[in-house]
Structure 1
Amino acid sequence: MKNFDVFNGDADGICALLQLRQAMPLDAELLTGVKRDIQLLEALDPATVDRATVLDVSLDKNRKPLEVLLAAGAQVFYCDHHFAGAIPEHPNLEALINPASDVCTSLLVNGHLRGAYAHWAVVGAFGDNLDDSARAVARTLDLDEDTVELYKRLGTYVNYNGYGAVLGDLHFHPAELYQLMHGYAEPRQFARDAISSFEKLEQGYEGDMSNAAAISPEWESESAAIFVLPDAPWARRVSGVFGNSLANATPRRAHAVLTCKPEGGFLVSVRAPLKDKRDADTLCRQFDTGGGRAAAAGINALPDDQMQPFIDAFSAIYS
């Protein structure tokens, strides 16, 4: 029997696990993937699982394999901030789930641990584009502004690294990036000592964002805009953080970033207006493979013939 740490490959998933394992070390096998690879529990053989820690992936998208794990006797700690639906009642399940628009999994873990490793919670919150929440925690740590800015950059870069259609699109496998960071109690120590890894993320981010900045909106109104990125590794890597950048630049506007997929159709990232964080998940769940949370959501595979219905629904919600 084994222990498994199952986590989203973005900044929030990685930083949530960093906090937990620094507070409660455990020999566990890592299971993660690209950010959009969220049905992770399907990869587990219930007969081999003693304990599973599941972070930053929707319970609703993993309901059936979770129920199988629990029935097989596994102990499960499940922490997340996405739409969950009905949470199973089972003595082997400890669920810490809150879909509020101003929290993320790293912040939930921070509360669970009573701030024991809050520096990583700040990085995770910045990575999830929750700047106000990240700064609120940072104030409790009495961090100077240069350190806060460093944490924001690191969170953005780690989050950026999680996007891609396949692991080959990424600069680092998320499990590798977690292991690189695991030895550091504070993110600033990682940025100082692992300078080559930090710079690889930074240079990749800046280059890809420069490409995205040259893209004009495919469709726009006063309250919303849609951008379409080409079928290219840089575009897949930047799809989520480009949406965050657009949201930060015009916080009263909703944004959708559609990235062309090699097999046809689009990968979709939606950002609700920062001044009105609502309905991104409601919009995306109208389409197959869609999900997320109120402030930020996505669709893994939007068919070409569904692009106009998506624009219509997006426009109706954010008009």
Structure 2
Amino acid sequence: MHYDIFNGDADGIISLLQLRLAEPKQAQLVTGVKRDIQLLNHLDLKPDDSLTVLDISMSRNKPQLLKALEIGALVFYADHHKSDAIPEAENLEAYIDLDANTCTALIIDRLLQGRFQYWAMTAAYGDNLVAQADLLAQQAGLSPQQAEQLKELGTLINYNGYGETTDDLHYHPAKLFQELLAYDDPFAVIAAQDSPYHRLKRAYQQDMRLAQAIKPFYHDASLAVYQLPNRAASRRVSGVYGNWLANQTPSQAHLVLTENSLNGYTVSLRAPLDNKQGAGELCSQFVSGGGREAAGGINHLERADLQRLIETVTSHYSK
């Protein structure tokens, strides 16, 4: 059995999309909402199995990865999140790049020598690596309008990945991957009237209107905090809303708190775009938290810990 294991956001989906456009393969798809990152827990592996693992932290999946390697499974692993020490094993092919200005789809783009670079740009836009994606678009000779189309599509695919469960999503990430695999060019997705682009665009616009009407819960020179109510629309929009806020005020960090069913918060943190570092480490100071340099999250934050979180983030970015 071959398993394709990938984060349910734009970066994870499009990383796999590039690989399978280049090398079609029958596979069991393993994915979930964006915050479901310990995906190797879902596997019951046998020695002759193989795995492609994309855009999930090696650090958070290390015990299961070691088990897979020990039984002899072949593993291809590409990611840009926290990895800790990378195991040394003949059956592991690992491409890990923790640079704050890259994403997994750009790592795959390098491996494929730009074969599906329009898709890689789309993923970079979706992961809020706007400057990097703009540079690639300029180098490829795309017009500003074409670049904006890729940015919109990447944002929409990323938007679809956020939710408490896949029931919150408009498309299960595996289904969205399968539908997008029919298009070797993202511009074809936009042009096709029956593609996921149009459904996601309508839903995104509606959810974002609700979020953009909310005033800051707290703000100072280095941080702005927004609180979204406990509803599916809030859970869907939390990540892309955080990216939107970051682009509006690049000198500030942003916390998006979404009230959850456990009477606490699900948290998205965006580092200032002018200082893209520390977000993942800050979130990892709290139970169920983690991420990367530019963006982090906490799956559940107790209300009693909110003030400590605000003080921790403010202290870090006001230095």
Residue 271 of structure 1 aligns with which residue?
Answer: 270
Taking a change above 3 Å as real, the CA distance of residues 6 and 222 of structure 1, as seen in their structure-2 partners, is same
Cα distance between partner residues in 2 of 1:315 and 1:139? 36
Q: Gaps spanning 5+ residues in structure 2: where?
A: none
Q: Deviations over 1:110-157 (max 9, x none)?
A: 001110111110000000000111122222322222211110000000
Taking a change above 3 Å as real, the CA distance of residues 311 and 49 of structure 1, as seen in their structure-2 partners, is farther
Are the counterparts in 1 of residues 291 and 297 from structure 2 also a CA contact under 8 Å?
Answer: yes
Residue 230 of structure 1 aligns with which residue?
Answer: 229
Residue 136 of structure 1 aligns with which residue?
Answer: 135
Aligned residues: 318
Cα distance between partner residues in 1 of 2:279 and 2:271? 6
Residue 75 of structure 1 aligns with which residue?
Answer: 74
Which has the larger displacement, 196-205 or 147-156? 196-205
Are the counterparts in 2 of residues 79 and 109 from structure 1 also a CA contact under 8 Å?
Answer: yes
TM-score with structure 1 setting the length: 0.98
Cα distance between partner residues in 2 of 1:136 and 1:3? 35
Sequence identity (%): 47
Residue 301 of structure 1 aligns with which residue?
Answer: 300
1:160 maps to 2:159: yes
Residue 12 of structure 1 aligns with which residue?
Answer: 11
C-alpha RMSD of matched pairs (Å): 1.1
- Given residue 272 of structure 1, which amino acid in structure 2 is its aligned partner? A
5 Å-filtered alignment, 1:279-290, equals 279-290=278-289
Cα distance between partner residues in 2 of 1:73 and 1:194? 45
1:21 maps to 2:20: yes
Cα distance between partner residues in 1 of 2:310 and 2:166? 29
Cα distance between partner residues in 2 of 1:314 and 1:247? 15
Residue 240 of structure 2 aligns with which residue?
Answer: 241
- Given residue 208 of structure 2, which amino acid in structure 1 is its aligned partner? M
Taking a change above 3 Å as real, the CA distance of residues 203 and 49 of structure 1, as seen in their structure-2 partners, is farther
Q: Deviations over 1:262-295 (max 9, x none)?
A: 1221110000010110110111010111111110
5 Å-filtered alignment, 1:170-181, equals 170-181=169-180
Q: CA deviation at 1:194?
A: 4.6
Cα distance between partner residues in 2 of 1:215 and 1:269? 16
Q: Deviations over 1:203-240 (max 9, x none)?
A: 11111110001111111101211111110000000100
Q: Gaps spanning 5+ residues in structure 1: where?
A: none
Q: Deviations over 1:283-317 (max 9, x none)?
A: 10101111111101111111121111111111111
Residue 215 of structure 2 aligns with which residue?
Answer: 216
Secondary structure at the counterpart of residue 132 of structure 2: helix
Are the counterparts in 2 of residues 10 and 163 from structure 1 also a CA contact under 8 Å?
Answer: yes
Q: CA deviation at 1:256?
A: 0.5
Residue 193 of structure 1 aligns with which residue?
Answer: 192
Cα distance between partner residues in 2 of 1:217 and 1:195? 38
Secondary structure at the counterpart of residue 65 of structure 2: helix
Cα distance between partner residues in 1 of 2:90 and 2:289? 30
Are the counterparts in 2 of residues 80 and 104 from structure 1 also a CA contact under 8 Å?
Answer: yes
* Runs of 4 or more above 3 Å deviation: none
Q: CA deviation at 1:197?
A: 2.1
Cα distance between partner residues in 2 of 1:190 and 1:222? 41
- Given residue 270 of structure 2, which amino acid in structure 1 is its aligned partner? R
Cα distance between partner residues in 2 of 1:31 and 1:140? 34
Cα distance between partner residues in 2 of 1:313 and 1:220? 14
Taking a change above 3 Å as real, the CA distance of residues 195 and 150 of structure 1, as seen in their structure-2 partners, is farther
Cα distance between partner residues in 2 of 1:177 and 1:49? 28
Q: CA deviation at 1:101?
A: 0.6
Q: CA deviation at 1:183?
A: 1.6
Residue 33 of structure 2 aligns with which residue?
Answer: 34
Are the counterparts in 2 of residues 243 and 270 from structure 1 also a CA contact under 8 Å?
Answer: yes
Cα distance between partner residues in 1 of 2:254 and 2:144? 29
Are the counterparts in 2 of residues 3 and 49 from structure 1 also a CA contact under 8 Å?
Answer: no
Are the counterparts in 2 of residues 4 and 49 from structure 1 also a CA contact under 8 Å?
Answer: no
Cα distance between partner residues in 2 of 1:122 and 1:102? 13
Residue 115 of structure 2 aligns with which residue?
Answer: 116
